[in-house]
């Protein structure tokens, strides 16, 4: 295969997550995967400014941007800056109006600002504070994947996440979502590709599904039922 025929896929992990969440993703010879790790934000940096800086890490024209959770929000902002073949988000939302009710309240009251940064050593407390007690009990989080824990990054990430200004979904954003996602429950969403019993961490736990179906989603306007 000629180098010019390769489709470049840039993958962005979720909040506090490192790129090892993509260790089990293998898309085949037609695709070349590039991982985008989080880097330190500047003081009071907007998500637009951060997205512009992240775009400088994209070295190929017309790429596929693929983001998980908060990373899905960032790649949507990046797609406003650079031309993309396709934007795919997983376990994420297309506007702040897709936030569940408790997140909307947190957004309005800015309660996230009272979160102690010491959560970095207690993932369960963080999940419970931000996403609710049911998520604290049932989310399968592994410290191996959540290693981006500096207070500066976390405070920034929470601020820009809860204050994301996207009112309406961008056109041509493909949304893949698990029906058992506790962070962003599916009843707040529409027009998405469902993965039955998929959780918020399905990029790790159901990597086989992504390996089988992502190539079809990238190459075609695929809206079929998951296998």
Handedness of CA 80, 167, 93, 37 (dihedral sign): positive
The average pLDDT across 7-22 equals 94
Structure pTM? Answer: 0.88
Mean of the per-residue pLDDT values of the chain: 86
Within 13 Å, how many C-alpha atoms sit on residue 74's CB side?
30
> Under DSSP, is residue 2 helix (H, G, I), strand (E, B) or coil?
coil
The average pLDDT across 186-211 equals 93
Q: Do 226 and 213 touch, CB atoms closer than 8 A?
A: yes
pLDDT in tens, 68-123: 999 999 999 999 999 999 999 999 999 999 999 988 998 999 887 876 555 445 55
Residue 41 has a pLDDT of: 97
CB atoms within 10 A of CB 91: 25
Strand ranges (E), 22-180: 31-35, 64-68, 86-90, 173-178
Domains and CATH numbers, the chain: 3-219 (3.40.50.1820)
The average pLDDT across 160-188 equals 93
The more confident residue out of 176 and 123 is 176
């Amino acid at each position: 295969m000629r180098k010019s025929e390769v489709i470049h896929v840039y993958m962005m992990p979720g909040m506090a997550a490192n790129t090892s969440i993509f260790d089990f993703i293998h898309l085949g010879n037609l695709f070349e995967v590039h991982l985008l790790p989080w880097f330190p934000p500047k003081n009071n940096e907007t998500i637009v400014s951060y997205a512009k800086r992240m775009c400088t890490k994209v070295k190929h024209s017309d790429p596929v941007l693929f983001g998980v959770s908060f990373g899905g929000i960032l790649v949507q902002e990046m797609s406003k800056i650079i031309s993309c073949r396709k934007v795919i988000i997983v376990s994420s939302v297309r506007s702040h109006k897709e936030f569940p009710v408790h997140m909307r309240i947190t957004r309005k009251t800015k309660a996230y600002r009272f979160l102690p940064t010491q959560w970095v050593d207690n993932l369960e407390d963080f999940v419970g504070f931000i996403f609710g007690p049911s998520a604290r009990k049932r989310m399968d989080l592994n410290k191996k994947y959540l290693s981006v824990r500096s207070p500066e990054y976390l405070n920034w990430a929470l601020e820009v996440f809860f204050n994301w200004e996207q009112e309406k979904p961008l056109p041509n954003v493909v949304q893949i979502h698990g029906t058992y996602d506790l962070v962003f429950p599916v009843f707040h969403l529409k027009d998405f590709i469902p993965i039955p019993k998929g959780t918020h961490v399905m990029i790790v736990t159901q990597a086989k599904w992504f390996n089988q179906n992502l190539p079809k989603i990238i190459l075609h306007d695929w809206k079929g039922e998951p296998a």
